[in-house]
Structure 1
Amino acid sequence: MINANVPRLRRTLLAASIAAAVAMPVTGAISPAAVPAPVPATAAPLRAATPAALAARYAASRDDILAAERTAADHGDRWRARMLRDMADPARRFLSFDGRDGGRAAEVFGDLATAERIAVLVPGGDTHLDKYGLLRGGALRLHQALGGRSAVIAWLGYRTPNTVSLAALTAGRADEGAAALRPFVRDLAALKSAARVSLVCRSYGSVVCGRAAPGLDVAGIVLIGSPGVTADDVSALRTRATVWAGRGGRDWIAHVPHVQLRLPFATLGFGTDPISPRFGTRVFAAGDGGHSDYLNAGSLSLRNVARIVSGQDPVEAGSRA
C-alpha cells in the first residue's frame, strides 16, 4: 500500500511545484529580452584555431558587443550599456555574441589555440546578459582549477527559462538549446581534434546536454545540480561519452520529484534522478554546497569537475589526493 502511494505523492509534489511556477511572479524592472540590440555582423566560419584566426574572430565579436552597447545606451538602459562596455574589454575573448532576446555569447577563458583540455560550460535557468557575471565567474574559477593548456568556454547559446516558470518544467527550451549546442560542439571538435572536450552542464543546462547528447563527440558529460535529463538511464542518451553526475548536500534540486507527467498540453518534469544507481552515471562527490555553489573557489565539487575534465578520477570527500 505504501509503495502504491509513492507515484501519487510524487505527482502531487510535481503539481504543487507547477502551481508555484505559474502563480509566483518573477520580479524585475525590465525583461532582459526587452532591451534592443542590432543583428550581429555575419562572421565567416572559423576555419582554424590558430592565434591569427582566433584574434580575428575575437575582434569581430568585440565589434558586435560595441554595436549592442551603443543601442542599449540609445535606448536608455545604462545598466546593460555599462555591462557591455566591460564585455568589450580587449582582454576578453568572445567566439560569438548576439545581444538580442536576452543575449547569446560564447566567451573563452584560456588559450584556445594551445588548449589540450576544453570544458564547455552550459548554464541553467535565469542566465542572460544581465546576470552573465554568474556564468563568467564559474568559468573563470574552473579555468583556474584546470591550469595550463586548458580552456573553458562559457556557452550562453540558448534562451534560458526563468527558474520560477512553467518553461523550467518542460524540455522546450532545452530542445532549442540542444539544436544550437550540437553544431557548436561539432565545429569545436573539428577545430581542436586532438583536444579532450567535455560538457559541464548545470541545473536546466543538464537537460540541454541530455537532449544534445546522442552522437555528440565529447569525452565526458558532467551533470551538476541536475533535475533530470528526460532519459530513463545512461543508455538512452546514446552517447559514447562518460557521463558523470554530482549533487551538493544542500542542493534543493534533490527535493524535486524525478518523474515525467504527460499532460495534454506538455510533458512536465525530467525523469530519473541522474545520481540514482539505476540511472547509471558515474557519481562523484560534490561536497555540501547548494544549487549555485558547484564552481565555488576551493570547493570539492570544483576540484572534482576539474579532475574529470582533465581525464582524472575524482576524489572522495576528505581526500588529499
Structure 2
Amino acid sequence: MRAIAIREPGGPDVLTEVQVPLPVPAQGEVLIAVAAAGVNRPDVLQRQGSYPPPPGASPLPGLEVAGTIVAVGEGIGLDVIGERVCSLVAGGGYAEYACADYAQCLAIPPALSMEEAAAIPETLMTVWHNLFERAYIVNGDSVLIHGGTSGIGTMAVALCRLFEITTIVTCGSDDKCRAALEWGAGHAINYRSEDFVEAVKRITDGKGVTAVLDMVGGDYLPRNLECLAEDGRHVSIAVLGGAKADLFIPKIMMRRLTLTGSTLRARTAGFKGLLVDEIRRTVWSMAEEGALRPALDRVFSLGEAAQAHALMEAGGHFGKIVLKVR
C-alpha cells in the first residue's frame, strides 16, 4: 500500500511516499481502508524527532483516520465490515490502510464528509477529556482557550458553544480574531497587540474564567493563573512555548486553583475506548444532527503531506488540515 514515512528527523521535505505491507489487525482491531487522515501538531513533532510513537505503534505518522472497515481481527464480528467509521490510531494514519481498535471507532453520520470525519477524533477527544472531564466545565462556565484558530481551539469553541459555555480565545492577528468570532467564540484577544491577562480581567469584570486550556506552557503558565477565578482549573495539553515555568505556590493555595494536564497518544487502548464510549453517549448525537462539525481549512492529497505540514508550521490555517487518501 501507499504510505507516507519519515525518512529522517527534519523539515517537511523528509516526508516520503513509500510502499509498505498492509497492516494486519490484532485482536480487537479492524482494518480501515482510509479515505482521509487528519494532520495534527504531534505529527509535526514526530517528524522533527521530538515525539516518538509509543511502543508497538506504527512508525508512520497519522493519529486519526476516516474510512471503511474492510477486515477484522480476532474478537470482532464480520458484520462490521463495510461500516464507515472515524477513529483514533496510535500511528499509521498517513496510509491507504490503517489498523484501529474497534472500541475507538465512531460511526460516520451522513451529515459529515469523510474529510470532516477525519478531522474530528483527535481534537474532539482531547478537548472533551481535558475541558469536560479534567476541568469539569459545565453550562454557564467560562474558558480561556489559547490557539483559538487551531484545530484544538476551533473544536473547543464548537463544543463550548453547544454547551452554552462562554469562550475567550487568543489569536495572533486581528484577522484570526475576526475568524474566531465568526466561528462562534464569545471574545477574541490579539495577544500580539494586547495583554491577554488584562483583557480577560476586563471581559470578566475582574472575576476571571472558570478554566484555561493551554497549549503554550512556559511563561504563559503564571499569566494563565492570573486569568483564573477562585477555584479555577488550569489544563496543560502542550508546551509549545517551553516546558518549565516559575510559580508562586502560595497563590495557588490561597485561591484554591487546580493545575492538571494530559497527553492522549500514550494512554492505553482501554482508556481511549472508554473515552470514545462516553463521547458516543454524550456528544456524538450532535454530530449526527449536523450541529457539531470541525473547522476544515484545507484538504491535500496523500502525496502532498509535506505541503500540509508546511502549512501547519506556517500557522496561517484556521481549524484542521486533512489528507485525502482515496
TM-score by length of 2: 0.29
TM-score by length of 1: 0.30
More strand by share: 2
More helix by share: 1
